[in-house]
């Protein structure tokens, strides 16, 4: 078993596809960092474990450990840390490693890894509209840099890519469900030639921390960016709930406990202001750019759901 896993890894590490993906990955990170630094963002170091992490809106195994009498979880996303630090530093980003121990059947999607990195950013006082614009500019800038630097690598991979045009098309979540059914994201992604947004996501589809619209009850001021050509979700984000009573009400309606989020609630009690942010998965972006079927091809040490990994 060990020998098999190791020889598979050795073969993977010598794969030309991986080499191209790692070169693209290097440019993607540099381009994104440069774009954000030029706009006054500061980079914060990632949080690997914490007393509080993202509850997510789908089931995963929950790794945690005790240290000196306190229980810590491995980071599923830095959502709460972003919301806390952005109160002091109004434009922040981080390349955040996340651990999400997904169920083995997620391996089928070709876009889930148990360990991945997202570029996670947050802006104080900004609205969803501001962040949609920022997301489009960031995406376009990154693709321009990759195409400029890696036209030969993309050609060798047989990948033809073009820079999309802003503003990207938008679909409201509920309109898309009515027209295409529950698999709307996959259907629309396969049909599309350019990335597009899904906006106005219903409350039950998302975690408690995103802000409910003041005009449409039960609808969140959220957005997802979806890749074309069937690559599905690229980015996910939204305006954050900052009102303590509304936060507590949302936790209660999710059937979650205040105990679980007591550290975050302590900060919220001190007063939070509106912020908006998003996270974009780096491995998924590199997979899309390279045109790979499977996400494990972009990572030197991929952790595929349900598989033994080195
Ligand atoms: N990073 C996402 C956001 O900013 C949250 C997540 O990864 N679950 O909304």
- Whether residue 308 lies inside any domain: the answer is no
* Atom 7 of ligand 1, residue of closest alpha carbon: 77
Residue 9: enclosing H or E segment and its boundaries? helix 2-13
Question: What is the 8-class DSSP label of residue 101?
Answer: B
C-beta 224 within 6 A of ligand 1: no
Q: How far is the CA of 157 from the centre of ligand 1 (A)?
A: 31
Chain-centre distance for alpha carbon 33: 16
* Atom 4 of ligand 1, residue of closest alpha carbon: 278
- Whether residue 252 lies inside any domain: the answer is yes
Atom of ligand 1 nearest to the CA of 207: 8
- Whether residue 303 lies inside any domain: the answer is no
CA distance 241 to 214: 11
* Atom 1 of ligand 1, residue of closest alpha carbon: 279
- Whether residue 307 lies inside any domain: the answer is no
What Å distances lie between residue 303 and 74, 124, 154, 155, CA to CA?
Answer: 15, 34, 25, 28
pLDDT of res. 191: 97
pTM higher than 0.95? yes
- What is the phi/psi pair of residue 53, to 5°? -140, 175
Q: Give the domain range for residue 268.
A: 2-298
C-beta 279 within 6 A of ligand 1: yes
- Whether residue 98 lies inside any domain: the answer is yes
DSSP string, 225-253: EEETTTTEEEEEEEEBP--HHHHHHHHHH
Q: Residue 187, preceding bond cis, omega within 30 degrees?
A: no
219-231 pLDDT, tens digit per residue, is 999 999 999 999 9
C-beta 228 within 6 A of ligand 1: no
203 SS3 class? helix
Q: How far is the CA of 70 from the centre of ligand 1 (A)?
A: 25
pLDDT of res. 2: 86
| Residues 84 and 236 sit within 8 Å (Cβ to Cβ) | no
| Residues 125 and 274 sit within 8 Å (Cβ to Cβ) | yes
Domain count, the chain: 1
- Whether residue 82 lies inside any domain: the answer is yes
C-beta 120 within 6 A of ligand 1: yes
CA distance 243 to 262: 15
Taking 50 as the pLDDT cut, the residues of the chain under it are: none
CATH of the domain at 81: 3.30.930.10
Residues 6+ apart with CB under 8 A from 295: 110, 111, 112, 113, 283, 284, 287, 302
Number of C-beta neighbours around residue 88 at 10 A? 8
CA-wise closest residue to 128 among 213, 192, 43, 204: 213
Which parts of the chain are beta strand (E)? 42-43, 49-50, 64-67, 70-74, 91-99, 115-124, 169-172, 196-202, 219-227, 232-239, 275-281
Q: How far is the CA of 277 from the centre of ligand 1 (A)?
A: 8
- Whether residue 156 lies inside any domain: the answer is yes
C-beta 231 within 6 A of ligand 1: no
| Residues 195 and 228 sit within 8 Å (Cβ to Cβ) | yes
Atom of ligand 1 nearest to the CA of 82: 4
| Residues 31 and 23 sit within 8 Å (Cβ to Cβ) | no
- Whether residue 304 lies inside any domain: the answer is no
Q: How far is the CA of 150 from the centre of ligand 1 (A)?
A: 29
pLDDT of res. 1: 76
Q: How far is the CA of 236 from the centre of ligand 1 (A)?
A: 6
C-beta 227 within 6 A of ligand 1: no
């Amino acid at each position: 078993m060990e020998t098999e896993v190791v020889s598979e890894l050795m073969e993977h590490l010598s794969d030309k596809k991986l080499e191209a993906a790692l070169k693209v990955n290097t440019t993607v990170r540099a381009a994104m960092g440069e774009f954000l630094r030029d706009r006054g963002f500061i980079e914060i170091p990632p949080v690997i474990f914490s007393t509080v992490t993202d509850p997510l809106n789908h089931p995963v195994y929950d790794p945690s450990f005790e240290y000196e009498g306190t229980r810590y979880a491995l980071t599923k996303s830095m959502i709460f840390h972003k919301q806390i630090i952005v109160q002091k530093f109004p434009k922040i980003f981080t390349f955040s490693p996340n651990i999400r121990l997904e169920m083995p059947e997620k391996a089928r999607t070709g876009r889930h890894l148990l360990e991945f990195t997202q570029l996670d950013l947050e802006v104080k006082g900004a609205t969803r509209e501001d962040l949609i614009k920022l997301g489009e500019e960031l995406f376009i800038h990154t693709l321009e840099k990759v195409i400029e630097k890696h036209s030969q690598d993309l050609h060798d991979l047989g990948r033809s890519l073009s820079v999309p045009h802003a503003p990207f098309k938008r679909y409201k979540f509920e309109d898309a469900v009515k027209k295409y059914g529950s698999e709307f994201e996959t259907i629309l992604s396969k049909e599309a030639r350019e990335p597009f947004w899904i906006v106005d996501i219903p409350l039950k589809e998302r975690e408690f921390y995103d802000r409910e619209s003041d005009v449409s009850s039960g609808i969140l001021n959220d957005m997802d960016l979806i890749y074309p050509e069937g690559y599905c979700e690229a980015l996910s984000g939204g305006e954050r709930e900052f009102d303590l009573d509304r936060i507590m009400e949302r936790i209660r309606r999710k059937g979650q406990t205040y105990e679980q989020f007591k550290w975050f609630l302590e900060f919220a009690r001190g007063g939070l202001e509106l912020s908006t942010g998003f996270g974009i998965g780096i491995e998924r972006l590199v997979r899309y750019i390279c045109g790979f079927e499977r996400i494990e091809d972009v990572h030197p040490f991929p952790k595929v759901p349900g598989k033994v990994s080195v």
